[in-house]
Amino acid sequence: MPEALQTSMAATGIAARTGTAFPIPESRFPNPGSTTTRILGIDPGSQRTGVGIIDVDAAGRTRHVHHAPLLLLGEGDFALRLKRLLYGLDALIEEYRPQEVAIERVFMGKSADAALKLGHARGAAICAAVLRELPVHEYAAKEIKLAVVGKGAAEKQQVQHMVGLMLSLTGKLQADAADALAVAITHAHVRATAQRLGVSTQQAWSRK
């Protein structure tokens, strides 16, 4: 990260718990030399954000690593919620060392106020990834449902059910965690297709 950016971030109080501005870890790989890629999926929200982490191997097989809601309520005004989101995702990235990030796009069918707040939450989430120099891939809700369930108009319960089956999870998944895992699974599938065809992820999705 450029020194000027670190200085600016530190001056505005945006610093990691260690006192340095979001230090880049020496290795972001699950295991050194591994062919497995770790993907962090994010379902952004202004009150709670779903996070889901999976590993995908060279054959495209996925394995569940972690999922949880990141609760933002009780953090004071909206700006403090965004700060909590940024710090929370940074801590998660530091702990689990994902190599790529997938995030759901804003659904513009929501009210203007809700869409604006969701857009701010997405921005904070994307910043958390970019500050760690992680590539960010974005997918619309219909694309995620199509990849996981097979139809773009699938209900949330269908997404939860299919995510549980795909990752061999027991117990009921909360909607935000299921959505976060679903966007990670979507990117894993698109990524595998891109590698097989020797094209970019954008080109791979257009061929689906």
Catalytic residue numbers read 43, 104, 176
Alpha-carbon gap, residue 164 to 89, rounded angstroms: 23
Nearest alpha carbon to residue 44 among 155, 131, 134, 138: 138
Alpha-carbon gap, residue 48 to 64, rounded angstroms: 21
Alpha-carbon gap, residue 139 to 191, rounded angstroms: 13
Contacts of 156 (CB under 8 A, 6+ apart): 175, 178, 179
